[in-house]
Amino acid sequence: MKRILMMVLRNLFMVPYGWIGLCYRAAHVDKYTEEDMYQFLTWIDLHANRGGNVHIDVHGLENLPEKNGFMFFPNHQGLYDVLAIIEASPRPFSVVAKKEIANIPFLKQIFACMKAYMIDREDVRQAMQVIINVTKEVKKGRNYLIFAEGTRSKNGNHVGTFKGGSFKSATKAQCPIVPVALVDSFKPFDTNSIKPVTVQVHFLEPLYYDDYKDMKTTQIAALVQERIQNVINASI
């Protein structure tokens, strides 16, 4: 990926410190508070984005719930998505991601620092345990991100089908659901270009428990998907 190489070359002076620091933190996650870890990840993310000619255009910060213990549900465009939201969100969060990307260098260390859960979609028992664990942590006040499409969209800014099962942790925790619309997030890492690019991150109005308590998870998924697609359509 040309842009990743450019990010490294333009930050050559801080790459050794950043990489060693990232690897050390990934191997010693319990030594740091979530806030300290997130601040470090944001610092790395900002340098990478500046070096890679990626600008994050953030909308809707006022929509973030006042209290922690909520879940982000963005559309999934590419490998860059989580990095876009790290810069955009002032609030720490963790991630539920598929195991297939668990060993990608850099992302592997990022996910370790975030204490992310890697889910095996072929192992029902393991997937259910992840849902249980995330539910417990959200109830305790941690924020999580789940890609409800389950896999990256291959159609750019066209959102894939959101799966109802992705919302089980949120409904069990009775927490706020925050839809996140990503626009052009596929361009930094999933195209072979190094031209300057702007990625839009829109935090939409959250769905609170009273808003969705009488809905099936498939209905919640369809509603969140529709809201995100409408914002994307209005932004491109």
Per-residue pLDDT at 152? 83
Q: What is the pTM of this model?
A: 0.94
Per-residue pLDDT at 156? 87
Alpha helices of the chain — where are they, by DSSP H? 2-10, 15-27, 34-51, 81-88, 107-113, 124-139, 168-173, 187-190, 209-212, 217-235
Computed from CA positions of residues 98, 199, 142, 33, in that sequence, does the dihedral angle turn out positive or negative?
positive
Per-residue pLDDT at 122? 82
Rounded Cα distance between 37 and 57, Å, is 23
Per-residue pLDDT at 91? 97
Per-residue pLDDT at 105? 82
Q: What is the pLDDT along the chain (236 residues), one digit of tens a residue?
A: 688 888 989 998 888 999 999 999 999 999 999 999 999 999 999 999 999 999 999 999 999 999 999 999 999 998 899 999 999 999 999 999 888 877 888 888 999 999 999 988 788 899 899 999 999 999 999 999 999 998 888 888 999 999 999 999 999 999 999 999 999 999 999 888 899 999 999 999 999 999 999 999 999 999 999 999 999 999 98
| Beta strand segments in 13-158, E | 54-59, 71-74, 94-98, 117-119, 144-146
Rounded Cα distance between 166 and 54, Å, is 29
